[in-house]
Amino acid sequence: MREYNFKEVEAKWQEKWENGHIFKTENKVEGKENYYVLVMLPYPSGKLHVGHARNYTIGDVIARYKRMKGYNVLNPMGWDSFGLPAENAAIQNGAHPAAWTKSNIENMRRQLKLLGFSYDWDREIASYTPEYYKWNQWMFKRLYEKGLIYKKKSLVNWCPDCNTVLANEQVEDGKCWRHSKTSVIQKELEQWFFKITDYADELLEGHKELKDGWPEKVLTMQKNWIGKSYGTEIVFTIAETGKELPMFTTRIDTIYGVSYCVVAPEHPIVEEIIKGNPEIKSSIEAMKNTDLIERSAEGREKNGVFTGWHVINPVTKEKVELWVADYVLMNYGTGAVMAVPCHDERDFAFAKKYNLPLNVVINPVNKETKEVIELKAEEMTEAFIEVGVMTNSGEFNGMSSKEALTKIAEYVEANNYGKRTVKYRLKDWGVSRQRYWGTPIPALYCEKCGTVMEKDENLPVKLPEDVSFNGVGNPLETSESFKHAVCPICGGPARRDTDTMDTFVDSSWYFLRYCDPKNDKLPFDKEIVDSWMGVDQYIGGIEHAVMHLLYARFFQKILRDLGLVSANEPFKRLLTQGMVLGPSYYSSAENKFLFPSEVNVKGEKAFSKVTGEELAIKVEKMSKSKNNGVDPEEMITKYGADTTRLFIMFAAPPEKELEWNENGLAGASRFLSKIWRLVMEHKENLEFGNIDLTKVSKEDKALLIKLNQTIKKVTESIEDDYHFNTSIAATMELINETQDYKVNILEVGKTTSESKKIFAEVIKNILVMLSPFTPHFCDELWEEMGHTGYLFNEKWPSYDEKLTVSSDVVIAVQVNGKVRGTVEVERGTDKETIGRLALELDNVKKHMEGKNLVKLIVIPDKIVNIVIK
């Protein structure tokens, strides 16, 4: 017998699949419904990591399964290939970003092919190609024409030594990543923004459409990110100047408790304040230069300074101090806050630090006794932020604070002190990046015509080659040929925008391009896109819950409003796969994490190969810093793609964490070898033809029942949120029973024509059901069975409901007192199942035709009585 050699088998089938073009997908196939499976496209860092392997295996199994279920399946792959690492590589080792990216893509494509994924490679796209990014520019122009893009000054991270803008990831502890001693400052630059806030409400509204197909936690994260809050804008008056200063609050019920007010250091009023008060300028500058993310962090120490000015509360007419503090952000609400320390945590911490007054205006209620507990400000150790009963609040005393929220808002509006408003946490999307490796923004600046867009026929505006990557400034500014251009309106000289687009723009519509990847007239054809969209199943990491998934939804809605697509939502169903965990080995003697190759594992314990020290083992997220990552290609070399795929799918359901362990891989490998031998050693016992149920033995029948139960279980677990691990487990059980059958029947010469047919039927179905997981292996055995072609093109098996229950009792079925048939079931089968089987009998159906079912009486193990009229 030939041994199972995964290397040969996998290479053979990958070649056959490729040469046979079996994964090529047509946009339309007569009689088949389209089904779109999409995995988040990778950034071409150079090597696949284990998270990719998991994500893409899940996608591929779904694609193969749906294909076998009769759908016309689109399963594409591409490259999110603009971004910073390519530019850094250029700075560090002189490789051009394009060359670096291209060779990374080639290596990763080779790795994906090693895993046997069923992608239609003819539809491959890469965002760094002019054929792709041309359409980013084209869409940018359409958005600009619609007024959905505008330019505005905004703060960016700036390193004075690099003389350049830094991405948030390049700021480490407030310092530049390349200049560990240089503090990053916030600098104002003119930037392009997409008006995503125009769609804030619709993005929230869309959750109704997604609630059945998306994980709840992702929707919650998006909801919080959009952060719709209902509040009141209430106008205070500056005592010293008489000018108005509106505050945004979500807690107008606390208006009587305001003990000071605060503005953000960037608030326009601050400049005026500094004029008469220059000594506070430096502390305000320091606040401005603190990272915005840090400033809004919870629990962080808050800094502020008194302005010397006061404001008047319109409701109480009380005069309170006006402060500047870093915990108030300019880009939220009005950038000014009425502070109520007793009922807000941040205000409480701030008031304690600077000794500001505390006023209680809401008292808690004892939940059991319903008694009001009187708070004493000087005894409070934290703010009371819940609802309660109003106090020290004039005519609103005694009211519940919940009711007061509405009543005071109405009062404020009636007296013209302010108005109710809705605010969003979501900000417009700033897309300008002072970088080379991205899509050039198609804008120009002409002295005569101002800001203008490049003509459509001149797109794409291509990235120039004459640039220098010396790490100083934006490389695009070093290109003379790029900077100096011709105004598309007047033909005079114009300066090109040297910023490029955020790479999230690329990934906001790539799924539409896959539908029509070669179109050179338009980004895509509407009819083709409509035939595939929305994506039936999207799969990717939870880290994209907010930005990518929100931007893509935003783009889909814009493109719909431009008449380019029909669907409201891009992704009907979303699966966020769990993390991959692996054991880390920490040596306290050496004060570092050891690589698995430096470790001896003995049972539950692990020891350093060098020092013999017992190591601390922890199972945690794979990461470079813990030395606990695995390289998928190493696994493929050692165990094969099929075993790797099988292990990944068997070890955990897709949405859960997956604990990587080599024993599991070895187990998956043994499992495949067992099937291999089962088929190869018994080829002479495979017979094809219809099974005659009247001729089968008890053992034959039992195996046939197990087969039908397994098909049912496997199919149902896949349909139930893709619980592939359960389906594989069910198939394993069937294989074990088949193994017993082999020992008890086939190997002892009890074989009959019927048993051979049953054996063949079981093997066939095992291969069909395992083929989405281990496609090469199954195609090889399929061929060994004498079939030609590929399991990819086979139909997913169906099962016979009657054969999913083993039958050791025969129950007579009467219709109006006359026996019309029998059902055979396992002793103890429930009433519902028996009743259903009885009603499905052909002879019963015939006698019931045109009549009404009056009563169905089932006495388990005895009789069924059907009464009709």
Binding-site residue set for ATP: 624
Of 313 and 755, which has the nearer Cβ to ligand ANZ? 313
Of 155 and 809, which has the nearer Cβ to Zn ion? 155
Of 151 and 423, which has the nearer Cβ to ligand ANZ? 423
Q: Give the residue among 211, 157, 224 at the shortest CA–CA distance from 186.
A: 157
HSE of 62 in the Cβ direction (CA atoms, 13 Å)?
Answer: 28
Order the strands of the 149-159 sheet from edge to edge: 164-166, 149-159, 185-194, 429-430
Residue 358, contacted partner among ligand ANZ, Zn ion, none, CB below 5-8 A by kind: none
Residue 338 is a binding residue for ligand ANZ (CB under 6 A): yes
Q: How far apart, in Å, are the Cα atoms of 611 and each of 588, 594, 599? A: 11, 12, 10
Q: How far apart are CA 378 and CA 70, in angstroms?
A: 72
Q: Give the residue among 688, 646, 676, 670 at the shortest CA–CA distance from 784.
A: 676
Q: Is the dihedral of CA 739, 744, 748, 754 positive or negative?
A: negative
Shortest separation between residue 447's beta carbon and Zn ion, angstroms: 7
Shortest separation between residue 92's beta carbon and Zn ion, angstroms: 14
Instruction: Find the radius of gyration of the CA atoms of the chain.
Output: 34
Residue 658 is a binding residue for ligand ANZ (CB under 6 A): no
Residues 177-216 that bind Zn ion (CB under 5 A): 178-179
Shortest separation between residue 349's beta carbon and ligand ANZ, angstroms: 13
Shortest separation between residue 332's beta carbon and ligand ANZ, angstroms: 4
Residues 424-483 that bind Zn ion (CB under 5 A): 446, 448-449
Q: How is residue 646 written in tokens?
A: 């099988």
Residue 77 is a binding residue for ligand ANZ (CB under 6 A): no
Residue 340 is a binding residue for ligand ANZ (CB under 6 A): yes
Q: How far apart are CA 165 and CA 477, in angstroms?
A: 13
Q: How far apart are CA 863 and CA 781, in angstroms?
A: 46
Residue 335 is a binding residue for ligand ANZ (CB under 6 A): yes
DSSP state of 440: B
Quick check: 536 and 497 in contact, CB under 8 A? no
Of 351 and 535, which has the nearer Cβ to ligand ANZ? 351
Residue 702, contacted partner among ligand ANZ, Zn ion, none, CB below 5-8 A by kind: none
Residue 245 is a binding residue for ligand ANZ (CB under 6 A): no
Phi/psi zone of residue 215: left (φ > 0), alpha (ψ -120 to 50 degrees), beta? beta
Q: How far apart are CA 407 and CA 395, in angstroms?
A: 11
Q: Give the residue among 472, 479, 478, 502 at the shortest CA–CA distance from 91.
A: 472
Pairing of strands 244-249, 228-238: antiparallel
Of 340 and 443, which has the nearer Cβ to ligand ANZ? 340
Q: How far apart are CA 14 and CA 119, in angstroms?
A: 12
Q: How far apart are CA 488 and CA 444, in angstroms?
A: 9
Name the one range near ligand ANZ by CB under 6 A: 339-347, 536-544, 589-597, 787-795: 339-347
Q: List the one residue from 344, 569, 642, 780 that touches ligand ANZ (CB under 6 A).
A: 344
Q: How far apart are CA 419 and CA 412, in angstroms?
A: 7
Phi/psi zone of residue 299: left (φ > 0), alpha (ψ -120 to 50 degrees), beta? left
Residue with tokens 């159906």: 845
Binding residues: 624
Q: List the one residue from 329, 387, 489, 546 that touches ligand ANZ (CB under 6 A).
A: 329
What are the phi and psi torsion angles at 611 (to 5°)?
-100, -10
Residue 333, contacted partner among Zn ion, ligand ANZ, none, CB below 5-8 A by kind: ligand ANZ
Q: How far apart are CA 312 and CA 397, in angstroms?
A: 22
Residue 161 is a binding residue for Zn ion (CB under 5 A): yes
Residue 229 is a binding residue for ligand ANZ (CB under 6 A): yes
Give the three-state DSSP class for 36: strand
Residue 89, contacted partner among Zn ion, ligand ANZ, none, CB below 5-8 A by kind: none
Q: List the one residue from 249, 393, 669, 731 that touches ligand ANZ (CB under 6 A).
A: 249
Q: How far apart are CA 788 and CA 540, in angstroms?
A: 35
Shortest separation between residue 343's beta carbon and ligand ANZ, angstroms: 3
Shortest separation between residue 344's beta carbon and ligand ANZ, angstroms: 4
Residues 738-797 that bind ligand ANZ (CB under 6 A): none
Order the strands of the 72-74 sheet from edge to edge: 72-74, 34-39, 537-541, 574-577
Quick check: 189 and 154 in contact, CB under 8 A? yes
Residue 343 is a binding residue for ligand ANZ (CB under 6 A): yes
Q: List the one residue from 142, 251, 764, 776 that touches ligand ANZ (CB under 6 A).
A: 251
End-to-end Cα, the chain, rounded Å: 64
Residue with tokens 């310092």: 175
Binding residues for Zn ion, total number by CB under 5 A: 13
Residue 344, contacted partner among ligand ANZ, Zn ion, none, CB below 5-8 A by kind: ligand ANZ
Residues 98-117 that bind Zn ion (CB under 5 A): none
Residue 248 is a binding residue for ligand ANZ (CB under 6 A): yes
Of 314 and 333, which has the nearer Cβ to ligand ANZ? 333
Residue 24, contacted partner among Zn ion, ligand ANZ, none, CB below 5-8 A by kind: none
Of 340 and 811, which has the nearer Cβ to ligand ANZ? 340
Burial class (CB in 10 A: 0-12, 13-18, 19+), 23: buried
Residue 256 is a binding residue for ligand ANZ (CB under 6 A): no
Residues 6 or more apart from 653 whose CB is under 8 A from it? 721, 722, 723, 724, 725, 726
Of 331 and 611, which has the nearer Cβ to ligand ANZ? 331
Binding residues for ligand ANZ, total number by CB under 6 A: 18
Shortest separation between residue 451's beta carbon and Zn ion, angstroms: 10
Q: Give the residue among 69, 77, 59, 177 at the shortest CA–CA distance from 127.
A: 77
Residue 176 is a binding residue for Zn ion (CB under 5 A): yes
Residue 573 is a binding residue for ligand ANZ (CB under 6 A): no
Q: How is residue 693 written in tokens?
A: 């149920």
Q: Is the dihedral of CA 490, 496, 502, 508 positive or negative?
A: positive
Residue 276, contacted partner among Zn ion, ligand ANZ, none, CB below 5-8 A by kind: none
Shortest separation between residue 241's beta carbon and ligand ANZ, angstroms: 21
Shortest separation between residue 380's beta carbon and ligand ANZ, angstroms: 13
Q: How far apart are CA 645 and CA 672, in angstroms?
A: 12
Residues 6 or more apart from 824 whose CB is under 8 A from it? 805, 807, 808, 809, 810, 811
Q: List the one residue from 250, 600, 611, 753 that touches ligand ANZ (CB under 6 A).
A: 250
Residue 313 is a binding residue for ligand ANZ (CB under 6 A): no
Of 164 and 313, which has the nearer Cβ to Zn ion? 164
Residue 86 is a binding residue for Zn ion (CB under 5 A): no
Contact characters 400-439, ligand ANZ, x per CB under 6 A:
-----------------------x----------------
Quick check: 645 and 635 in contact, CB under 8 A? no
Residue 162, contacted partner among Zn ion, ligand ANZ, none, CB below 5-8 A by kind: Zn ion
Alpha-carbon torsion angle 192, 194, 197, 202, nearest 10: 180
Q: List the one residue from 306, 332, 354, 586 that touches ligand ANZ (CB under 6 A).
A: 332
Residue 175 is a binding residue for Zn ion (CB under 5 A): no
Residue with tokens 């011709």: 486
Name the one range near ligand ANZ by CB under 6 A: 90-98, 148-156, 330-338, 659-667: 330-338
Q: List the one residue from 68, 105, 337, 803 that touches ligand ANZ (CB under 6 A).
A: 337
Name the one range near ligand ANZ by CB under 6 A: 325-333, 485-493, 671-679, 827-835: 325-333
The length of the chain in residues reads 869
Catalog residues that contact ligand ANZ under the rule CB under 6 A: 229, 248-251, 254, 264, 328-329, 332-333, 335, 337-338, 340, 343-344, 423
Catalog residues that contact Zn ion under the rule CB under 5 A: 159, 161-162, 176, 178-179, 446, 448-449, 487, 489-490, 492
